Amino acid sequence: MVFSTTRLQYSVADLSNFLRARTLAGKADAAIDQERFRQVIASHSSEGYDSYKYFDKQLWLRSKMMRAIELGLDKGSSRAVLDLGCGAGYFLYCCKHLGHDVHGIDLPTYEFYRDMIALFGIPRTGFRIEPRKNLPILDKRFDVITAHQICFNGHKTENLWGPEEWDYFLNDLQKNYLKPGGTIALEFNAEPEIGFYTKEVRGYFESRATRIFRGRVIIAGDIKPSPAFTPSETAASGLAAGGLATRT
């Protein structure tokens, strides 16, 4: 059985996280400067769907709070969280509200995202993520690195990243940005006529990830070494340590 919000579907197993997310998102919302939020929305109200869909802050706060809970970020000590392609910053704002130290990376050009990020008071580095190019130097390491509804992988283009691009990217994250034992959580957008991943990309992630479900790839704890593009036939193993609370 599934239940849904306007755009998001969950299973019954998600119910307790969903209810907790609603409560925590309400508290996070109450801490936002509502007048300033209205001003940001008003100043971008003539823009297209890319901005417009993020005007529904209740929906996005609930959805991103759910992601934070699934990663165990609603419990425990303060952690350093990096979000790649952070967009309007709803996920990082939820993390910040939960007491974490946050940082975002996104394209520097989009003014609606810039204004939302400023509203939320989130430090962000303007940068275009490109295949086989290292991320910018951030002079710190992170306990959790996330990317939600990923577009930087050539989403909906003919240049969709394959295993080699993902391998370069994950190795850069592991070598230069992730703390030992940290978690990488990726959330994919579905590709037309492909689904969340090509067969090759899924095989690659199966060889490295802790868990793959519903377009999500979780790499947690001791990260498996790069497979040099010989994907294992073994499906990803069950949930490892790291407080990941989501069920498939």
Ligand X SMILES: C[S@@+](CC[C@H](N)C(=O)[O-])C[C@H]1O[C@@H](n2cnc3c(N)ncnc32)[C@H](O)[C@@H]1O
Site residues, ligand X (CB under 6 A): 85-87, 90, 106-107, 110, 113, 128-129, 148-149, 151-152
Nearer to ligand X, 60 or 206 (CB): 60
Q: How far is the CB of 75 from ligand X (least distance, A)?
A: 22
Q: How far is the CB of 20 from ligand X (least distance, A)?
A: 20
Rounded distance between C-alpha atoms, residue 163 and residue 204, angstroms: 6
Smallest distance, ligand X to C-beta of residue 92, A: 9
Question: Taking CB positions, which residue lies at the least distance from ligand X?
Answer: 87
Q: State which residue, 100 or 206, has the beta carbon closest to ligand X.
A: 100
Of 113 and 142, the one with the shorter C-beta distance to ligand X is 113
Taking the least distance from each CB to ligand X, the nearer of 152 and 204 is 152
As measured in angstroms, the least distance from the Cβ of 224 to ligand X is 25
Residue 141 or residue 155: which is nearer to ligand X going by CB?
155
Burial of 159 (0-12, 13-18, 19+ CB in 10 A): exposed
CB of residue 225 vs ligand X: minimum separation in angstroms?
Answer: 26
Reference 112, options 168, 165, 50; nearest CA is 50
